[in-house]
Amino acid sequence: MKKRILSACATGLLLTFWACGGSDKQTVETGEAKAVDTAAVAAARELTIDTAASRVLWEGSEGLAKILTSHTGSFNIQSGSLSVKDSQLVAGKFVIDINSIQNFDIKRLDKKADFIGHMKSADFFESAKFPTATFELVSAEKLPSDSVRA
């Protein structure tokens, strides 16, 4: 269940990163953002993420190039928690360490280092200026397949 929740969170995180490209703002706000159900969270049990055993997996590609080129990797989770009420996920918050970005598919060490450096640059995450990213889960619904959609 934890892996499914983290997968859903990672998907949302990646969508957020791509939607935020080119902005100098440290906080991103959208017109579609939902507020956390504070009553549900107050009545929920908070579970702390085991940061040593957890990470956010990512997959990225660009336009038509995704047919030929895509990359996979991970980020470490600096801190995080999930709020659960009556066996239902009601909220969560994760702080992602952007400087911990890893790549899994590039085998040549020099190419891997170049790629990671490029991802940390101002072209992508600008990790020197923004070393962490926060993902806040404000709602989730259980799917028939026992998965969770965040």
Name the 3-class secondary structure at 103. strand
CATH 2.40.110.10, applies to 2-27+37-143: no
Contact 13, 57 (CB under 8 A): no
Q: What average pLDDT does range 86-90 have in this prediction?
A: 84
> Where are the domains positioned within the chain?
2-27+37-143
Cα 58 to Cα 10: distance, rounded to the nearest angstrom: 7
Q: Provide mean pLDDT across the span 101-107.
A: 96
CA distance 135 to 98: 12
> 68 φ, ψ to 5°?
-100, -35
Report yes or no on whether pTM surpasses 0.75.
no
pLDDT digits (tens, 9 = 90+) for 38-75: 777 777 889 999 999 999 999 988 766 556 788 999 99
